[in-house]
Amino acid sequence: MKQSGLTLKSLAIVLAAGLLLPASTVNGEPMQATKEGFAETDDGVRIHYRLLGPTDAPTLWVGYPWTEGWDRIMQELGSPGRGTDVNRELIETLTATYQVLHVDYPRGTGRSTGPLPGDLKPETVAKDYVAVADAAGVDRFVAMGYSWGAGFGLHVASRTRRCAGLAIGGWPALDAPYKEILESSRTQSSALPAGTAAQKVIASNTNFYAEIVGSAWDEEAAVEFMRDRAGLLYLYVGSEDVGVPSMGHVFPIAEPIIANRERLEAAGWKVDVIEGYDHMDLPLDAWLPGVLDFLDGKTW
């Protein structure tokens, strides 16, 4: 794991600079939310969201890793993250066609409060997604996510049919390396200064995977539960994806997706393997056109 070398003074400077990052824009003008607020969860967490784009279009639930709040966590970890420009470009592109429910998620990022002690369990994530949708007035949504966000999507879609489908990348639906990522996450969390935002969020990452490993998560049953959403299940991955070696996360991600491609496609998934890319160098123009082509003409 890469341990943050930031001093408290430099960390404060980074966070202050992060607060000045501009909001999403269209043609150089600030993008106005049609609705903005907080979802109140049953355990007292407030999750910040914005609705953007055409109100009569199908809704995409977009959070991790495409938020400024997560970029600030990555800065604490000593990594540049995906970048505000990438986040802005993604939201601008999506809102040309879809309503986007843009959420400061996971808990403890951006303007969302938390995480709480014991966070974050997969069942909690599913409840959070529904709570945000309820607060925003959204009935059904397709969940977008990458890496941990893809894991969120899988656990939401396997627990509620309010999640009408998935457009996810960088995490296997079958034979995912949960034990390996749990070990890496524990190591990373223990190396971070206690009480910092990054340490709290990475600890919630550890709890998420610990709950999955400890509960003997049934991926086969989850894929079967999602079968009724055939046609709205999309999974993409860079062919060279083995995690994030620079941060100590090394485990197979592309390999199990490729190995299970036929099984997933038989269950109604579209699986796209993008040649030549790994987990961190997969740019928008390599995967977003595939997602848009897949969603084109579909409603939910």
Q: Please tell me the predicted confidence (pLDDT) of residue 16.
A: 27
Residue 5: per-residue pLDDT: 31
Give the domain CATH number at 249.
Answer: 3.40.50.1820
Domain count, the chain: 1
Q: At what angle do helices 68-76 and 84-94 cross, to 10 degrees?
A: 160
Q: Residue 102 forms beta bridges with which residues?
A: 50, 62
Residue at 47 is within a domain: yes
Question: What is the rounded distance in angstroms from the CA atom of residue 98 to the CA atom of residue 295?
Answer: 10
Instruction: Indicate whether 24 belongs to any domain.
Output: no
**Residues 104-116: what's their mean pLDDT?**
98
Instruction: List the structure tokens of 297.
Output: 């003409």
- Assign 30 to helix, strand or coil: strand
Whether residue 150 is contained in a domain is answered as yes
How far is Cα 111 from Cα 108, in angstroms, rounded to an integer? 8
Flag whether 2 is in a domain: no
222: burial class by Cβ within 10 Å (0-12, 13-18, 19+)? Answer: middle
Q: What is the pLDDT of residue 78?
A: 82
> How confident is the model at residue 110, as a pLDDT?
97
Q: Which of 27-36, 125-134, 234-243, 283-292 has the lowest mean pLDDT?
A: 27-36
- Give the per-residue pLDDT at 81: 55
pLDDT at 84: 72
Each residue of 72-100: pLDDT tens digit?
999 988 876 556 789 999 999 999 999 99
Provide the token pair at 111. 């303007």
DSSP reduced 3-state for 227: helix
Residue bearing the bigger pLDDT, 6 or 183? 183
Give a yes or no: residue 7 inside a domain.
Answer: no
Confidence of residue 30 (pLDDT cuts 50, 70, 90): low
Looking up tokens 């995480």 gives: 115
* Mean pLDDT, range 136-159, rounded to an integer: 98
Whether 9 maps to a domain, the answer reads: no
User: Is residue 16 in some structural domain?
Assistant: no
Looking from the CA of 278 toward its CB, the CA atoms found within 13 Å total 11
The residue-averaged pLDDT of 192-218 equals 96
The parent domain of residue 237 ranges over 30-295
| Local confidence band at 3 (pLDDT 50, 70, 90 cut-offs) | very low
Q: Please state, in angstroms and rounded to a whole number, the distance separating the CA atoms of residues 44 and 39.
A: 10
In this prediction, residue 272 carries a pLDDT of 98
Task: Report the chain's mean pLDDT, rounded to a whole number.
Answer: 90
Q: What's the rounded mean pLDDT across residues 216-234? A: 96
Beta-bridge partner residues of 271? 235
Over residues 63-72, the pLDDT tens digits come to 999 999 999 9
3-state secondary structure (DSSP) of residue 147: coil
State both tokens at 118.
């014991």
Residue 82 pLDDT: 56
Residue 232 and residue 254: Cα distance in Å, rounded?
Answer: 21
Quickly state the pLDDT bin for 13 (edges 50, 70, 90). Answer: very low
Q: What is the pLDDT, as a whole number, of residue 79?
A: 73
Residue 17 lies in a domain: no
Of the given ranges (2-16, 19-33, 207-221), which has the lowest mean pLDDT? Answer: 2-16
Question: What are 81's two structure tokens?
Answer: 């993250």
Reference 254, options 227, 226, 282; nearest CA is 282
Q: What's the pLDDT at 12?
A: 27
pLDDT over 70, % of the chain: 89
pLDDT band with cut points at 50, 70 and 90 for residue 149: very high
With b for 16 or more beta-carbon neighbours within 10 A and e for fewer, the 112-122 pattern comes to bebbbeebbbb
Q: Which of 14, 166, 22 is nearest to 88 (CA)?
A: 22
Residue 11: predicted pLDDT:
25
Helices (H), the chain: 8-18, 68-76, 84-94, 122-136, 148-157, 178-191, 197-214, 219-225, 254-259, 261-266, 284-295
* pTM (2 d.p.): 0.89
